[in-house]
């Protein structure tokens, strides 16, 4: 495991973009994440693209997850988030950007996503971490999931994500998420952590027991885990 500590969010976003850029070349596959943490990295990628330093032609992306019940056009959907924060602002072919469709039948959509993922090798998978240690929407559980599946969101995740909705009751109660086995199969994992409220879970995930009760703890076993954080999130390690 490599850990890069940065003095603030802006610097960690630049550091994360540097690491992701090492993988950006024609025909690469990037595993992407939503949430607040990667937004600064996406802005930095856009800045480099606008400066003529990055080319996203022939790049494929696969996202971790999506809320069940939201159409791709819904402003709260993760498809919308990705379009707004990255895809609409770079020269990527949208046909090569994959996010589960939350408005499709979840079972069929999971099958479709599993077929897609079995045909690809992810070069770098970007991850955030939930306060409960979730990665994607793999919530604490009795076992590590292998494949893409539909999950019921935990009350703590609904509470954390309600900041993006008008009220907690508007947050969808379920989601489709890539399985931990599929995340783990990426050649490299880029875990982004920011803010002091993540410090405790970061310590437990990276140095505590490996258990599906803390889904991110499995990342300790990955052969190429890169953690990029700010000092606040890394303050306990």
The Cα-based distances of 53 to 46, 48, 127, 146 in angstroms read 10, 5, 24, 37
Q: Which residue, 130 or 172, is less far from ligand PGA as judged by CB?
A: 130
Residue 128 as a binder of ligand PGA (CB under 6 A): the answer is: yes
Residue from 31, 40, 106, 130 touching ligand PGA (CB under 6 A): that is 130
What is the per-residue binding string for ligand PGA in 181-200, x denoting contact by CB under 6 A? --------------------
Nearest distance in Å: CB 196, ligand PGA: 12
Phi/psi for 149 (5° steps) reads -155, 165
DSSP structural state of residue 226: E
- Least distance from C-beta 67 to ligand PGA, angstroms? 13
- What does DSSP say about strands 124-127 and 188-193: parallel, antiparallel, or unpaired? parallel
Residue whose CB is less far from ligand PGA, 4 or 164: 164
The CB-nearest residue to ligand PGA is 35
Q: By CB under 6 A, is residue 129 in contact with ligand PGA?
A: yes
d(CA 43, CA 86): 7
Closer to ligand PGA at the Cβ: 129 or 232? 129
Taking alpha carbons only, the member of 183, 189, 202 closest to residue 131 is 202
Rounded CA-CA distance 178/63 in Å is: 8
Name the residues annotated as catalytic. 65, 132, 134, 139
The answer to whether 37 contacts ligand PGA (rule: CB under 6 A) is: yes
121 alpha carbon, distance to own chain's centre: 16
Q: Which residues bind ligand PGA (CB under 6 A)?
A: 35-37, 128-130, 134
């Amino acid at each position: 495991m490599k850990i890069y500590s940065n003095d603030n969010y802006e610097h960690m976003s630049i550091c994360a973009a540097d690491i992701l850029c090492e993988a950006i070349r024609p025909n690469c596959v990037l595993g992407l994440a939503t949430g607040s943490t990667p937004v600064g990295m996406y802005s930095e990628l856009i800045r480099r693209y606008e400066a003529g330093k990055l080319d996203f032609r022939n790049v494929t992306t696969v996202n971790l997850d999506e809320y069940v019940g939201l159409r791709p056009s819904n402003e709260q959907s993760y498809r919308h988030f990705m379009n707004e924060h990255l895809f609409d602002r770079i020269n990527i072919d949208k046909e090569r950007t994959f996010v589960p469709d939350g408005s499709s039948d979840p079972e069929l959509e999971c099958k479709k996503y599993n077929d897609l993922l079995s045909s690809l090798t992810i070069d770098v998978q970007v991850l955030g971490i939930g306060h409960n240690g979730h990665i994607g929407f793999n919530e604490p559980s009795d076992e590590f999931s292998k494949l893409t599946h539909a999950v019921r969101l935990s009350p703590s995740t609904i509470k954390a994500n309600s900041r993006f909705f008008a009220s907690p009751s508007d947050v969808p109660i379920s989601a489709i998420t890539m399985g931990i086995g599929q995340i783990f199969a990426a050649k490299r994992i880029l875990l982004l952590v920011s803010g002091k409220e993540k410090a405790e879970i970061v310590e437990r995930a990276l140095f505590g027991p490996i258990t599906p009760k803390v889904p991110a703890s499995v990342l300790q076993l990955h052969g190429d885990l890169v953690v990029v954080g700010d000092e606040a999130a890394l303050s306990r390690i």
